[in-house]
Structure 1
Amino acid sequence: MTDAEPTAPLLELLRQLEAVLGRTAVDDFTDDHVRWDLYQAATRAGEALPILFHAVFQERDGALASPVVVEVLEQLAPQERAAWVQALDPAVRDFPARRVQELKVLGAVDSGDFTTAEIRRAIDTWSDWLQRRVIAASDDREVLRLFSELGRTKRIRNTALSSLK
């Protein structure tokens, strides 16, 4: 993260976020930690999300904007996620775009649209995050058994095994 003077449009959006969140006005937003703190608070306030979207688009520090988008993705309707990723600088879109795909898989597993056979074929390509989330969301004993045997890490295998008990 780099400290830089926010542009006038970003500064206006930061002030709007402060107002929506009921925060005391900050004198200096050049410190990226101050912006991060405000963005974090905004991710937890649904009414702030439209302003946060525009702030992410205006944020020149991609290393700051990208994790904000990743945090927001789960709160969004699936059809809204791509717009948030596209609001980012192309140089920092890869990880958020991957998380969008992981959330699609998680939704498919949750709804039963992803069969155990499909999970078996795909499990090696899934991140630890996705594997842990599938285990946490699943009550399907077959799925949990599969993860207890094929999960990428010992932690994942043990969590699945514990969920079977």
Structure 2
Amino acid sequence: MDDEPPEHARYERHRLALAAVSEHDEAALVGAVLDDPDRVMVEAAIAGHIDARAAALHPLPSYPAWSETIAELIEDRPFLVRRLGEWTLFRAIVLGAPWRTEDLTEATDWLQRKVSESSASAEALAVLAERGRTKRVRNAAARKVSSRRR
């Protein structure tokens, strides 16, 4: 007898389907997953998908079109919108595109940690070393700034 709650099984099915989806079928599948009635489970599955896909696409020219498509699908999901927006900010920072200091200082711990652990610009690291949300972020960014000066 399997005591696993049905939402756990659906989450795993969604997660596996999203991991294997082709670029061509991605929007349709994301839309179908978003129709699942368990909002929390859906957002966890889609956030994992956004993280995986954005990690692969953020340095590529195809990222803006992909993120625009996903943004249209998730526009009524604040957590997912924020995560996608933070991936876009991360992309700007690591690629040297324009970004705003206040966007980084107001970002989640997740993004600040990601930037402090990345090959971000000296400017971004200096901002986090001074104004990072947590001591861990401030210290990590300060170490990177210091090591670049040597």
Fold-level match, TM-score > 0.5?
Answer: yes
CA RMSD, aligned part only?
2.7
Alpha-carbon distance in 1 for matches of 2:5, 2:28? 19
Q: Tell whether 2:79 aligns with 1:102.
A: no
- The match for 2:72 among 77, 83, 93 is 83
Change in Cα spacing, 1:58 to 1:111, as seen in structure 2 (3 Å) is same
Please give the per-residue CA displacement for 1:8-46, whole angstroms capped at 9, x wherever unaligned: xxxxxxxxxxxxxxxxxxxxx971111111222223223
Task: Quote how far apart the aligned CAs of 1:67 are.
Answer: 1.6
Task: Tell me what 2:6 maps to.
Answer: 31
Residue 36 of structure 2 aligns with an amino acid whose one-letter code is E
- The match for 2:97 among 101, 113, 117 is 113
Please give the per-residue CA displacement for 1:77-109, whole angstroms capped at 9, x wherever unaligned: 2222213314xxx4xx11111112212212221
Secondary structure in 2 matching 1:137: coil
Instruction: Mark the structure with the bigger radius of gyration.
Output: 1
Task: Tell me what 1:162 maps to.
Answer: 143
Q: Tell whether 2:107 aligns with 1:126.
A: yes
Unaligned runs of 5+ in 2: 55-65
Task: Quote how far apart the aligned CAs of 1:51 are.
Answer: 5.8
Residue 57 of structure 1 aligns with an amino acid whose one-letter code is L
- The match for 1:44 among 2, 8, 19 is 19
Secondary structure in 1 matching 2:133: coil
Contact 2:125 2:141 in 1 (8 A): yes
Task: Tell me what 2:133 maps to.
Answer: 152
Task: Quote how far apart the aligned CAs of 1:58 are.
Answer: 2.8
Unaligned runs of 5+ in 1: 1-28
Identity level (%): 26
Q: Tell whether 2:48 aligns with 1:71.
A: yes
Q: Tell whether 2:32 aligns with 1:55.
A: yes
Length-normalised TM-score, structure 2 = 0.70
Change in Cα spacing, 1:139 to 1:158, as seen in structure 2 (3 Å) is same
Secondary structure in 2 matching 1:156: helix
Alpha-carbon distance in 2 for matches of 1:72, 1:95? 13
Change in Cα spacing, 1:122 to 1:59, as seen in structure 2 (3 Å) is closer
Task: Tell me what 1:26 maps to.
Answer: none
Change in Cα spacing, 1:98 to 1:50, as seen in structure 2 (3 Å) is closer
How many residue pairs are counted as aligned between the two chains?
A: 130
